[in-house]
Amino acid sequence: MSWIVGVDVGGTFTDFSARHVASGRTVVHKRPSTPDDPSRAILQGFTELQEKAGFAGADVERFAHGTTVATNALLQRRGGELAVITTRGFRDMLEIGRQTRPKIYDLQEDAPPPLAARHRRIEAHERIAADGGVVTALTDQEIDALVDRLDALEGVDCCAVCLLFSFLNPEHELRIAQALRRRRPDLFVSVSSQVQPEFREFERFSTTAINAFLQPQVSNYMTQLKTQIAEAAPNASFGIFQSSGGLMSVERAAAFPVRTALSGPAAGAVGAIVSAAKSDIKDIITLDIGGTSTDVCLIQDGRVALANVRDIAGFRIRLPMIDIHTVGAGGGSIAYVEVDGLLKVGPISAGAVPGPACYSRGGTEPTVSDANMLLGRLPESLVGGGMTLDRGKAINAIAPLAEKLGLSAEETAFGILSIAASNMVRAIRVVSVERGHDPRDFTLMPFGGAGGLHVADIARELGMKRVLVPQSPGILCAEGLIVSDLQENLVGTCRIRLSEETAELKALLADLHDRAEVWFNHEGVDEAERRLRLGLDMRYVGQNHELQVEAGSECRAPRLPGLDQLKSLFFATHERAYGHHDPEAPIEIVNLRLRATAKLVHGESAALLPTEAPQPISHHDVWFDRDGPVNTPAFDRAKLPVGFALQGPAIITQIDATTVVPPWARLTVDEACNIIMEIQQ
């Protein structure tokens, strides 16, 4: 017996998906998260999953984990005590940043204070020039003085080494890091030329500082969890999902925790691509609604876009990440009346503990889930009967808010859902309309525990005609983990004009190729499973921001395209992004990027499908609009056969999610067992 297990830790639930490689049998499981120690929910849930699926820990060959530890540590500023060593004159780089206000129209809003206070930012007397040459040499005496100054700082347990132009010549950084590790073996050290070796000083400094800040907590968590998983599943390789859409070893995750900043949502996008492909749908917009937030991602032609810059909690990160937009609207988002007398929803969330009032875990604030419960859209139990919901507590939570607004409880609940839906609609417009895409040309795919509750209303608001609900929407992030491959992203800066001279580019590509081979060998990847994809960051000379241009498909040995082909690729990319291009303007290449992928065995999912026409498991009143409740049948999704169709209204329940089918929607179960919902405008 050989199994692959994926576990995604969310703010409210920890999700599991296990697949038997030979037969394709897939088993899913869900249990409440334990925010104080995420590993507790992982280990308890893994034991429950084994009992449910009937396999032993020794039968697991791969264990993949999507984690929120780094994200939460950054949001809560609960990392290490950070020091920074930088080139003389640049200690305030982290504080100055790009000199832009967080909110352009709010003159009172300040940028978050840097992770390292000014007295913990140490200047080194050294200087590398813009061509990589040494202007001021770094002496051994200076290194000793730097280490002494850091030793004098109280409580420091992590250090970021960020020197000017070190991406061109890392010698000074590496010497300082070596001295720090020799003097302080307990110190976590992050080196900018290893964390993010490309130009743009502020982004490189910020990313490295964040990485160092996260290392103490994330490294300890990873080390502890690896030991626990080794005991529970002794034959399993342990992989951590990274924000760029692939797995990495736990050792690299501990060394580069900043790469896991969007670990869980990125896994959902990968799972969405696989699920949609089974229904032969390639253009989708994902709607991942969890307990605390909603994540949306545009997928075109079966591929996600990568963003190289992202702000999380006000801190700039420059690394390849799946282009996901997040808003603070989820099932646990709390509704309240602001001082202006208007109803607001989120971003404050009830989280897993105490959670929404209807969860009966001590929560008393009105939330989006309570509004759904009051309107009859949520069933009386979740997680396959593992959690019972209390409609009375939802009513009690919303009643004070309704009184304050002078509305009925049902009107107030509709107000809560309308505001939450508006926030989600705006998020979808950010990744579609604002980037030149018409959402009506895409299929909307909901997942996460609350995706199916809101998807029909959101699709109708956007004019979208089709919704695809995957087989296990509440577990899709965990399913994305078990279909992912090992991945490493390599980058090198090479700022040259696009001309006949390509020797420098070829040398850089050869260097990246060599680094990829070192990674393949270190991970023990068979020759036949190695894949590489080349990309270039290009722009017109004088432009401030570059565009990422893909040069060919995955292959074993990528080559640079010819000059004419590179121009054509750039023109097409520029046209798609901005609506125009100038064939006469000079072009420059800024970075070369090489993505190395190691193909893993996934197995094909298989399910035992029902054949008989299903009967409703219950009927109850559900509010779809303000005209009044409608007596609505509820169906068990596991009993819906291929080809089953119905005209709404209906409620579809399953262990991991609930899907609302309004009266103006029609549902069909396709050959892939996905639900296709046609929205009648």
pLDDT score at 74? 82
Are 423 and 289 contacting, i.e. CB atoms less than 8 angstroms apart? no
pLDDT score at 197? 92
203-254 pLDDT tens trace: 999 999 999 999 999 998 998 999 999 999 999 999 999 998 889 999 999 9
Q: Can you give the pTM of this predicted structure?
A: 0.87
E strands of 275-406, at which residues? Answer: 284-289, 294-300, 303-304, 306-307, 310-312, 315-317, 321-322, 325-327, 333-337, 343-349, 381-382, 387-388
How far apart are alpha carbons 70 and 78 in whole angstroms? 9
How far apart are alpha carbons 582 and 375 in whole angstroms? 55
For residue 524, the Cα-to-chain-centroid distance in whole angstroms is 27
501-555 pLDDT tens trace: 678 888 899 999 999 999 999 888 888 889 999 999 999 998 888 888 988 778 8
Query: How crowded is residue 251: how many other Cβ atoms within 10 Å of its Cβ?
Result: 15
Are 652 and 377 contacting, i.e. CB atoms less than 8 angstroms apart? no
Q: What are the structural domains, with CATH classification, of the chain?
A: 74-218 (3.40.1360), 262-481+608-681 (3.30.420.40), 486-598 (3.30.1490)
Are 15 and 475 contacting, i.e. CB atoms less than 8 angstroms apart? yes
Query: How does 338-354 read in b/e, with b if 16+ C-beta sit within 10 Å?
Result: eeeeebebbebbbbbee
* Radius of gyration of the chain, Cα coordinates, nearest whole angstrom: 26
> Which residues in the chain come in under a pLDDT of 50?
none
Query: How crowded is residue 531: how many other Cβ atoms within 10 Å of its Cβ?
Result: 20
Q: CB-based contacts of 313: which residues, under 8 Å, 6+ apart?
A: 74, 75, 77, 112
Six-digit token string for 177: 């890091």
For 346, phi and psi rounded to 5 degrees? Answer: 75, 180
Query: How crowded is residue 523: how many other Cβ atoms within 10 Å of its Cβ?
Result: 16
pLDDT score at 306? 83
How far apart are alpha carbons 363 and 56 in whole angstroms? 37
Identify the three-state secondary structure at position 524. Answer: coil
For residue 454, give the nearest of 205, 280, 659, 296 by alpha carbon. Answer: 659
For residue 632, the Cα-to-chain-centroid distance in whole angstroms is 36
Six-digit token string for 106: 């709010």
pLDDT score at 352? 67
How far apart are alpha carbons 38 and 17 in whole angstroms? 17
How far apart are alpha carbons 305 and 324 in whole angstroms? 9
Six-digit token string for 548: 């990422």
pLDDT score at 607? 64
